[in-house]
Chain A
Amino acid sequence: MLTGARRALKSGVGLGLRWEFLEEVLEAPVLEDVAFFEVSPENYMRRGGYYPAALERIGRNYPLVTHGLTLSIGAASPPDREYIAELANEVARLDAPWHSDHLAFTSGSGRAFHELLPLKFAVDTAKRVAARLEELAETLARPVAIENVTYYAHLGKAELSEGDFLHTLFEHTRAGFLLDVNNVYVNAQNHGQDARRVLESFPLERAVELHVAGHTRTPSGLILDTHGAPVVPEVLELLAFTLERTGPLPVLLERDNHVPELAVLLGEVRALRAVCDRAAAAHRLRQEGRRAVVA
């Protein structure tokens, strides 16, 4: 069990921990700009050696939030029990304040896809996922959150809008909402929607963490959620728009491809913090305005 790192995470900007800069983090003095690191537990589970040892050292100085990739919570079959048992050990080892994964299926027909496949926006899907989230939180003995994903195609006729799908889901679970703002933007661009209207349709009151990342536009015009570029200004604006409505939340910068120097990422973290600070001020003004109207 790690000690000393866990503290209440209610705001601040975190960074997805990548092996490209892991040693820099280990060797540097504590990075005051980074409120927490987020890690994919699959990279550390069921293994020994350098990385788990390094992560344990980092956990002494920073809170670590776990963000899984292969739970496959929306698949027809329930999530793999052996995997969840290993996951429980890992999130306990890291003393993660909560664990999150994706509103997706990542396996099926006995195979692993190693990709996030979107779910059909249907009531029975939402209820199935909600029940599994309750069970997961109990097994992990800590809060869990679920993230909206990008969808390049609709995998079946949607019975609900994405917003209604999310509302239905969160009516049936106590899990938190990990709102990926970049995914909202990417989906809106790819499907001809207004990202702000989409966001306003989401259950923002259930948000416990926000993600932002960069993306890649393909020659066909389709945007892929690659996490391989800096966050675009439109997504920063959408982040501010979200935070003005939710109030302060932990925000994570994800950068998984074409990872630049740590110093560059820290610059992006500081820029995000400035956005968060401005949004927090705007949120306070909105709250005061509401109180004034009520009075």
Chain B
Amino acid sequence: MQSSLEAAVSALVHGPAVDARDADAFLARYDFSADDRAVLRADFERLLVYRGLVRGTLREAVALAIPRTLARLGSVFDEYFERFLAERGPRTHYLRDVTTELLDFCAPLWAEDARVPAWAHDLARHEALQIVVSSLREAVTARELGPLELERGLCFVEAARVARYAFAVHRLVSDETDRTPPERVPTALFVYRDPEHDVRYLELSPLAAALLERLLRGETLKASLLAACAETATDPTAALEGTARLLADLAARGALLGAAAGDGAAPPARGAIVDPDGAGPSARGLRGARETSTMRGSNKDPHERS
């Protein structure tokens, strides 16, 4: 009975709306005893209360995470929210992760839907990234660090990611009523949580982005620099000074902890974000990183469950 009940509840709360007048037809789809079916039929209006509660909780969680995306997409977003619930549904124990599940579901669908602006997924991911980075776990064990050397990898704070977008969504104002479309420009951001737990965003040059992506994967400084220079058609000798400045800046910010001790590469930071549809190689030299915004005072995600 419990399995049938769970299937029925799932359909009732996540699926298309069911009119109480159709309760018999709805319940007939599930394997209930006649007695159980009669009770569920009698209480069907009350059963629908759970639909409102479940959907209200999920919708609120998503609205807190990506408010500007919701406001801009309007009814189109509502349609995809319904599809997410009906076709996939949340799987996570953690309400703060529901938005990521939703966006993973939406990404391929939005790419095929002419009603969804090309920048929508970038904006949604950028909005969601604040909560993701604010809550990323630190390493359980302290890492042994050594001096910076070309043949070693580097250790960053665990809460650090390179995010790539096809649009400069990070430059949009926070006003939810604003409808200015973002500029289509390859964008790379270094997003990290500082020692005060604030999430900070640094705009990267193509070379800095390519370099940091590799370093976050655990490659050595030398290998990262050479590959990044090759990718961006940059002279490695000319990039050395800028690299030193960038790393010094990240160290001063508390994002770069030091070099990995021991031989060679560093253990990779978990899950560096690399968007293959984002920025391509660029001939621009390394200009380091420019801080575009911080989330001071809003370092806490709003997804507290109760």
Known: A45-B94, A49-B300, A222-B46. 11 other contacts (CB 8 A): A18-B306, A19-B300, A49-B197, A51-B135, A108-B2, A109-B10, A110-B91, A114-B61, A120-B2, A152-B50, A157-B35
Q: Is the CB of A51 within 8 A of B300?
A: yes
Q: Is the CB of A157 within 8 A of B137?
A: no
In the bound complex, residues from chain B placing their C-beta under 8 Å from that of A46 are: 94, 137
CA distance A43 to B95 in the complex (A): 9
CA distance A19 to B14 in the complex (A): 29
In the bound complex, residues from chain A placing their C-beta under 8 Å from that of B50 are: 113, 115, 117, 152-153
In the complex, residue of chain A having the shortest beta-carbon distance to the beta carbon of B135: A47
Contact of A120 among B1, B54, B303 (CB under 8 A): B1
Q: Would you call A61 an interface residue if the criterion is a C-beta within 8 Å of the partner chain's C-beta atoms?
A: no
Known: A83-B93, A152-B49, A222-B46. A76 touches B306 (CB 8 A): no
Q: Would you call A111 an interface residue if the criterion is a C-beta within 8 Å of the partner chain's C-beta atoms?
A: yes
Q: Is the CB of A49 within 8 A of B159?
A: yes
Q: Would you call B32 an interface residue if the criterion is a C-beta within 8 Å of the partner chain's C-beta atoms?
A: yes
Q: Would you call A69 an interface residue if the criterion is a C-beta within 8 Å of the partner chain's C-beta atoms?
A: yes
In the complex, residue of chain A having the shortest beta-carbon distance to the beta carbon of B10: A109
In the bound complex, residues from chain B placing their C-beta under 8 Å from that of A100 are: none
Q: Would you call A182 an interface residue if the criterion is a C-beta within 8 Å of the partner chain's C-beta atoms?
A: no
Give the segment of B36-44, B120-128, B173-181 that binds chain A. Answer: B36-44
CA distance A117 to B58 in the complex (A): 15
Q: Would you call B293 an interface residue if the criterion is a C-beta within 8 Å of the partner chain's C-beta atoms?
A: no
Q: Would you call B3 an interface residue if the criterion is a C-beta within 8 Å of the partner chain's C-beta atoms?
A: yes
Q: Is the CB of B7 within 8 A of A108?
A: yes
Query: Could you show 22 A-B contacts with beta carbons less than 8 Å apart?
Result: A40-B306, A45-B94, A46-B94, A47-B94, A48-B135, A48-B136, A48-B137, A48-B193, A49-B135, A49-B300, A50-B299, A53-B197, A107-B6, A108-B3, A110-B89, A111-B14, A112-B93, A113-B13, A114-B90, A155-B47, A156-B5, A158-B39
B299 to chain A, nearest CB (A): 5
In the complex, residue of chain B having the shortest beta-carbon distance to the beta carbon of A119: B2
In the bound complex, residues from chain B placing their C-beta under 8 Å from that of A69 are: 305-306
**By DSSP majority rule, is chain B's interface helix, strand, loop, or mixed?**
helix
In the complex, residue of chain B having the shortest beta-carbon distance to the beta carbon of A109: B10
Q: Would you call B304 an interface residue if the criterion is a C-beta within 8 Å of the partner chain's C-beta atoms?
A: yes
In the bound complex, residues from chain A placing their C-beta under 8 Å from that of B47 are: 152-153, 155
**A-contact 0/1 string along B37-73, CB 8 Å cutoff:** 0111001101101100110011001000000000000
CA distance A152 to B49 in the complex (A): 8
Q: Is the CB of A49 within 8 A of B33?
A: no
A71 to chain B, nearest CB (A): 9
Q: Is the CB of A42 within 8 A of B93?
A: yes
Q: Is the CB of B93 within 8 A of A70?
A: yes
Q: Which of B13, B54, B305 has the most CB of A within 10 A?
A: B305
In the complex, residue of chain A having the shortest beta-carbon distance to the beta carbon of B94: A42
Q: Is the CB of B9 within 8 A of A113?
A: yes
In the bound complex, residues from chain A placing their C-beta under 8 Å from that of B33 are: 157
Q: Is the CB of B197 within 8 A of A43?
A: no
In the bound complex, residues from chain A placing their C-beta under 8 Å from that of B2 are: 74-76, 105, 108, 119-120, 125
In the complex, residue of chain B having the shortest beta-carbon distance to the beta carbon of A225: B53
